[in-house]
Amino acid sequence: MSIDESTAAKVASLARIRVDEADLPALAADFNRILGFIEQLGEVDIEGVEPMVSVTPMRLKRREDVVTDGGMQDKILANAPDAREGFFAVPKVVE
Amino acid sequence: MLDLTYETPKPKIIAGAKHDWELVIGMEVHAQVSSNAKLFSGASTTFGAEPNSNVAFVDAAMPGMLPVINEFCVAQAVKTGLGLKAAINLRSAFDRKNYFYPDQPAGYQISQLYHPIVGEGEVIVDMGPGIARCVRIERIHLEQDAGKSIHDMDPALSFVDLNRSGVALMEIVSRPDIRGPEEAAAYILKLRQILRYLGTCDGDMQNGNLRADVNVSVCRPGDYERYRETGDFSHLGTRCEIKNMNSTRFIQQAIDVEARRQIAILEAGGQVDQETRGFDPDKGETRSQRSKEEAHDYRYFPDPDLLPLEIEQAWVDDIASTMPELPDAKKARFMGDFGLSDYDASVLTAEVEAAAYFEAVAAHADGKLAANWVINELFGRLKRDEKDIADSPMSPEQLAGVIALISKGDISGKIAKDLFEIVYVEGGDPAKIVEERGMKQVTDTGAIEAAVDEVIAANPAQVEKAKANPKLAGWFVGQVMKTTGGKANPKAVNEIVAAKLGL
């Protein structure tokens, strides 16, 4: 798998990270080095091996259906650049 | 065994300029899980709270916060799966669906793309007496709802409320088995009915607790059958997805205009592009939302914050043992046990509360009479008061009491309606009211004979006419009913009038 400049630009755009045109070749090269490193894993024989999803032998922790949280509008909004009447206020987004 | 056999309805045909077309529709229904707390946090799901007050730090995606799954939401999804006769996957897993939107603070939605909790099932959609469409369910997965953006509070700003962020949704995905706008509406209503019976979603479409994305394509007659035989989607047309519909009326309109749009393109020699479209009910058209779609490369990957969801068969069996009787079975039983028509049984089983009310009445009264009185009198009366069956001032026992008095012959049908109104408005024991207010039907022939004699004596001219034309006897019956205040037994009056007039 090889990442060209336009793919690098698309990944950046999907991640909402601004990348100058001039930086795209270096970014694409970085991606390719990372992928190349990871592709070494392709050499391992995984025939019949279940994918490992966790290194801890744990069961997914569950909670009961009880309201234990919330009721802190002020704290939720505390870091918002702009908040009005209990809402986050953001630049207009209309489809 | 209950009789649940049915015939398959004909697909809707739209006549194009050149030839006939058929519709093929699949739906993705988002149903909000009924629960106290959210899917991954302990914040409340209550509707209508102050903005951003039902929000835990994890719902606002504060750094370092971790999701912990609400086991009851999982149980609700399993229950829903069982209700749709679906396979339950003892091992499922959560994935991140990545996209940016202001009401999606984490930048991703936790969903289940690769390993959903519920697999294949089915919904039987009634389309008339003995006619139904079996719609196959592909899967149900659990996911988080997003927050809500309000665009009309400020000219330059959108306002965001995260109260809904993180509330559990079940996405119920159907196969493309729905064959017309009416079937699509009936499908979502049937789903709603089942979810409400199960208590896993309140089905409130107006508040968006049940909403649908509708996939529409068109094909030539015969193509759909070829798809069903081979499983090969290439026999079907290219589909478009109409997003976020929460009204059965709009769903039908949108399907119809979208199908006609596609037919016009195809008949002009063009191609339908697979895309997401929005329905504008004011203009009666669907519009491309492609700009949005380009940004929607979701880059799903397994959520590293959550281990796979492993549940035990014994736990599923426990849930199965709590399953209520579902609409299809209840309707068939009402038809079998009480001799009700398909229509009456459908009406009475539409809502589980109404069905329970009817059964409580029918426990003490004739089933068919009970059905008539519940459907025609009680539902009508409640509607006038804009009340739900749960708020009925008349208990099932009281209504059964009224019906029992009719069955015994103590009151006539007409008096029964008066009695119904009295009990509905004032309350009380129907038998006692009839006794106290002298509403009992007069079956004593002596008293009726006296009344008939009186009317005959007072109207000699009418007597002559009636002798010439026996049809006029009805006039005498009416007069007698009037003088007895409607309490005389109509059958007895008829017989006595005829005898006295020598007819």
Are residues A84 and B309, on separate chains, in Cβ contact within 8 Å? no
List the single residue in A10, A54, A61 with the smallest CB-CB distance to B68.
Answer: A61
Give the tens place of pLDDT for each residue, B137-189: 999 999 999 999 999 989 999 999 999 999 999 999 999 999 999 999 999 99
Are residues B153 and A87, on separate chains, in Cβ contact within 8 Å? yes
Contacts of B286 (CB under 8 A, 6+ apart): B240, B242, B254, B257, B258, B261, B277, B278, B279, B280
- Could you tell me the residue ranges of all domains in chain A? 5-42
Distance from CA of B151 to the nearest CA of A (A): 7
pLDDT at B295: 57
pLDDT at B445: 74
Per DSSP, which regions of B54-167 are E strands? 69-70, 91-92, 95-98, 108-111, 121-128, 131-144, 148-150, 157-161
Instruction: Give B494's pLDDT tier (boundaries 50, 70, 90).
Output: confident
Residue B242 predicted with pLDDT over 60: yes
Distance from CA of A82 to the nearest CA of B (A): 10
Give the tens place of pLDDT for each residue, B410-453: 888 788 898 999 999 999 999 899 888 877 776 677 778 888 88
pLDDT at B1: 40
Distance from CA of A43 to the nearest CA of B (A): 22
Give the tens place of pLDDT for each residue, B1-10: 455 678 999 9
Residue A16, Ramachandran bin (φ over 0: left; ψ between -120 and 50: alpha; else beta): left
Stronger pLDDT, B334 or B434, i.e. the higher one: B334
List the single residue in B100, B156, B310 with the smallest CB-CB distance to A16.
Answer: B100
B350-371 average pLDDT score: 93
- DSSP notation for B387-432: --GGG-SS-HHHHHHHHHHHHHTSS-HHHHHHHHHHHHHH---HHH
Are residues A73 and B50, on separate chains, in Cβ contact within 8 Å? yes
Are residues A10 and B297, on separate chains, in Cβ contact within 8 Å? yes
Domains and CATH numbers, chain B: 5-9+18-293 (no CATH), 325-436 (no CATH), 445-501 (1.10.10)
Residue A56 predicted with pLDDT over 90: no
B263-288 average pLDDT score: 93
Instruction: Report chain A's mean pLDDT, rounded to a whole number.
Output: 91
pLDDT at B4: 61
pLDDT at B292: 52
Residues within 8 A of B (CB atoms), A 37-66 only: 53-54, 58-66
H or E element that contains A50: none
Are residues B278 and A66, on separate chains, in Cβ contact within 8 Å? no
Q: Give the best-scoring range by mean pLDDT among B46-50, B174-178, B274-278.
A: B174-178
List the single residue in B53, B72, B158 with the smallest CB-CB distance to A70.
Answer: B53
Instruction: Report chain B's mean pLDDT, rounded to a whole number.
Output: 92
Instruction: Give B476's pLDDT tier (boundaries 50, 70, 90).
Output: confident
| Cα–Cα distance, A78 to A85 (Å, whole number) | 13
Mutate to test the interface with A, among B59, B76, B158 (most CBs of A within 10 A): B158
Residues within 8 A of B (CB atoms), A 9-28 only: 10, 14, 16
Give the tens place of pLDDT for each residue, B57-98: 999 999 999 999 999 999 999 999 999 999 999 999 999 999
A14-37 average pLDDT score: 94
Q: In what order do the strands lie in the sheet with B95-98?
A: B108-111, B95-98, B301-302
List the single residue in A58, A67, A86 with the smallest CB-CB distance to B36.
Answer: A67
